[in-house]
């Protein structure tokens, strides 16, 4: 069946419908990873977005449920050049076509994803519609695209009650703003008991649980929409509990301490982004998924200093807070999918908790 991707600037791509045939409007973003599409699909940070995979062949190794980063996929849509419908992989549980159908995610294949990505890079991220309606009215579609909003995505992806990964000598409270499973797993395998809390848990509840450390997770949406969460993070900042924040958590901590965030032209999404540790000069390859960044000009130098920068464009990739046991990163040290170069940051967090205990 024919399918159409219609962008807000009037550009139309014609391809073949994959997955669900329902019509969807979403923010269109691109991911440059060559592999790892099951992890991309199940990353809650993609809620409210339709993902374009720039690598031309997707689905050749199917989907293994063990590799999923949450219990279900989250993107509104999936856009590829060519979809492999017959996976070749002994670990595969389901083809990507059946996976998309199972979770009612619409998509489109057979379009020039290189041309689409060039448009998004040149004009910036745009709202678009995926539809199988061959008689669509362009003016009606444009009007619908103008009114689209992706607010409320954290409420959609965050868990409703707390869960615990038991065992270990360090107690870590993990705020779930849309956390990937491997964040908790990375802490657990390092000897931590991890309690995962819903996004809107009060700071008082976290503090009263007497954790050795607090983790602020990744998640979807505009960080400035999270006004009530930011107020709770301000309270956590004023304690002496060690805190490690990733992606959205990094942005929220920056906002809570007086810095500002900006929407990027097309964001960083992929498993091949170089980041430089300013303290050591080392460059690491990282996994990233974000459309907002911390504005370096607004960082109070008495509160925090830049810890990491993006080698490609110089944007802020991490902060070290002064006189506090707090550091944050914009990228994903837990990877999945992607390189594990920066997993050492979890060890840094463990050491921070141990030093605090022994002080």
From 238, 259, 235, select the one nearest 318 (Cα to Cα): 259
To the question of whether residue 248 is assigned a binding role by annotation, the answer is yes
pLDDT tens readout for residues 312-338: 999 999 999 999 999 999 999 999 888
What does the pLDDT read at residue 145? Answer: 96
The pLDDT value recorded for residue 168 is 85
Q: What is the pLDDT of residue 17?
A: 98
Q: Which of 226, 247, 250, 273 is catalytic?
A: 247
Phi then psi for residue 294, to 5 deg, are -80, 130
Give the separation between CA 58 and CA 300, rounded to whole angstroms.
44
Do 154-358 and 2-149 have the same topology in CATH? no
pLDDT tens digits along 177-226: 999 999 999 999 999 999 999 999 999 999 999 999 999 999 999 999 99
CA 347 to chain centre: 22
Reported as a pLDDT band with limits 50, 70 and 90, residue 151 is confident
325 marked as binding residue: no
Q: What is the pLDDT of residue 234?
A: 98
pLDDT for res 167: 84
Residues 5-30: tens digit of each pLDDT: 999 999 999 999 999 999 999 999 99
273 as an active site residue: the answer is: no
Q: Output the CA angle 235-160-227, nearest 5 degrees.
A: 35
State yes or no: pLDDT of 359 exceeds 90: no
251 in a labelled binding site = yes
Q: What pLDDT does 149 receive?
A: 86
Which whole number is the average pLDDT over 112-125? Answer: 97
Class level of CATH domain 154-358? alpha beta
What does the alpha-carbon distance between residue 90 and residue 275 come to, in Å, rounded to a whole number?
34
**CA–CA separation, 35 vs 324, rounded Å?**
38
pLDDT at residue 293 is higher than 90 = yes
Which of 69, 226, 334, 336 is catalytic? The answer is 334
Cα–Cα distances (Å) from 80 to 55, 115, 121, in that order, read: 8, 12, 17
339-349 residue pLDDT tens: 999 999 999 99
Q: Is 45 annotated as a binding residue?
A: yes
pLDDT (average), residues 150-176: 94
Q: Please indicate whether residue 336 is annotated as part of the active site.
A: no
Instruction: Cite the beta strand spans of 254-315 per DSSP E.
Output: 261-277, 283-294, 304-310
Say yes or no to pLDDT of 54 above 90: yes
- CATH number of this structure's domain 2-149, picked from the four choices 3.50.30.20, 3.40.50.620, 3.40.50.2300, 2.40.40.20: 3.50.30.20
State pTM to two decimals: 0.97
pLDDT at 51 over 90: yes
Residue 138 CB burial class (10 angstroms; 0-12, 13-18, ≥19):
exposed
208 classed as catalytic:
no
CA distance 201 to 158: 11
Catalytic residue (one of 250, 273, 332, 336): 332
- 207, two tokens: 């503090």
CA distance 61 to 38: 10
**What are the sequence ranges of the domains in the chain?**
2-149, 154-358
Q: Taking the CA atoms of the chain, what radius of gyration do you get in angstroms?
A: 20
- Please choose, from the candidates 25, 37, 28, 3, the residue with its C-alpha nearest in 3D space to the C-alpha of residue 121: 28
Q: How far apart are CA 90 and CA 252, in angstroms?
A: 41
Q: For residues 65 and 68, give the distance between their C-alpha atoms in angstroms, rounded to a whole number.
A: 5
292 is in an annotated binding site: yes
Segment 46-71 shows an average pLDDT of 97
Element holding 24 (H helix, E strand): strand 24-31
| Contact by Cβ (8 Å): 219, 179 | yes
Q: Which of 278, 233, 11, 43 is nearest to 118 (CA)?
A: 11
């Amino acid at each position: 069946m024919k399918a159409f991707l219609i962008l807000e600037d009037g550009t139309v791509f014609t391809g073949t419908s994959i997955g669900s045939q329902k019509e969807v409007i979403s923010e269109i973003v691109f991911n440059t990873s060559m592999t790892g599409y099951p992890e991309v699909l199940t990353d809650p940070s993609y809620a409210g977005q339709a993902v374009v995979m720039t690598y031309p062949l997707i689905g050749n190794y199917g989907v293994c449920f063990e590799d999923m980063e949450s219990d279900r996929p989250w993107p509104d849509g999936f856009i590829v050049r060519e979809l492999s419908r017959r996976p070749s992989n002994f670990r595969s549980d389901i083809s990507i076509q059946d996976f998309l159908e199972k979770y009612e995610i619409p998509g489109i294949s057979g379009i020039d994803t290189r041309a689409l990505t060039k448009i998004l890079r040149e004009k910036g991220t745009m709202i678009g519609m995926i539809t199988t309606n061959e008689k669509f009215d362009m003016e009606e579609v444009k009007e619908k695209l103008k009114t689209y909003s992706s607010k409320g995505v954290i409420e959609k992806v965050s868990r409703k009650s707390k869960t615990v990964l038991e065992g270990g000598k360090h107690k870590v409270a993990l705020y779930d703003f849309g956390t990937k499973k491997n964040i908790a797993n990375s802490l657990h395998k390092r000897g931590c008991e991890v309690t995962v809390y819903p996004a809107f848990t009060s700071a008082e509840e976290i503090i009263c649980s007497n954790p050795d450390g607090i983790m602020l997770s990744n998640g979807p949406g505009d960080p400035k929409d999270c006004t009530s969460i930011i107020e709770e993070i301000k309270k956590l900042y004023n304690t002496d509990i060690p805190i490690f924040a990733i992606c959205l958590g990094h942005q929220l901590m920056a906002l809570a301490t007086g810095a500002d965030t900006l929407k990027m032209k097309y964001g960083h999404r992929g498993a091949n982004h170089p980041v430089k540790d300013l303290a050591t000069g080392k460059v690491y390859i990282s996994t990233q998924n974000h459309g907002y960044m911390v504005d370096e000009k607004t960082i109070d130098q008495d509160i925090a200093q830049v810890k990491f920068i993006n080698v490609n464009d110089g944007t802020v990739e991490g902060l070290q807070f002064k006189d506090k046991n707090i550091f944050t990163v914009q990228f994903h040290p837990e990877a999945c999918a992607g390189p594990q170069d920066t997993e050492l940051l979890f060890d840094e967090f463990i050491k921070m908790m141990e030093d605090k205990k022994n002080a």
